[in-house]
Amino acid sequence: MGKKSTLNAEQRAQLVVRLLSKEEPAVQIARRAGISEQTLYRWRDEFIGGGKQALGGRGGDGEQARMLKRLSGEVTERDQVIGELTIANRILKKLSGALS
């Protein structure tokens, strides 16, 4: 397995844009960045895939929005249950202290 790249997302995007604009061959871009050509092409594919998803409209975003809404509802419901249990626990502690 190869070493992990230390380039951040902005630097990767700049390399991919240089590749897509054909400023110089992929071999040179990869060599200067200290990465393999395969890695550069993988980043290109991820970059293009992300662009397609962003331009796809509500299709991908709609799924994420529904999941976010569902998870938010679950968290709200759990918070309410925790609050009710906390109140019940405090009442029980007060009653057990009064009985002792």
How would DSSP label each residue in 38-76?
HHHHHHHHHHHHHHHHHHTTHHHHHHHHHHHHHHHHHHH
Residue 43, token pair as written in the block: 């980043």
State which amino acid sits at residue 93. Answer: K
Q: Which CATH architecture does the domain made up of 1-56 adopt?
A: Orthogonal Bundle (1.10)
Per-residue pLDDT tens digits for 55-86: 765 555 677 888 899 999 999 999 999 999 99
pLDDT score of 90: 95
pLDDT score of 52: 73
Q: Is 94 or 56 the better-scoring residue by pLDDT?
A: 94
Residue 27 pLDDT greater than 60, yes or no: yes
pLDDT score of 97: 87
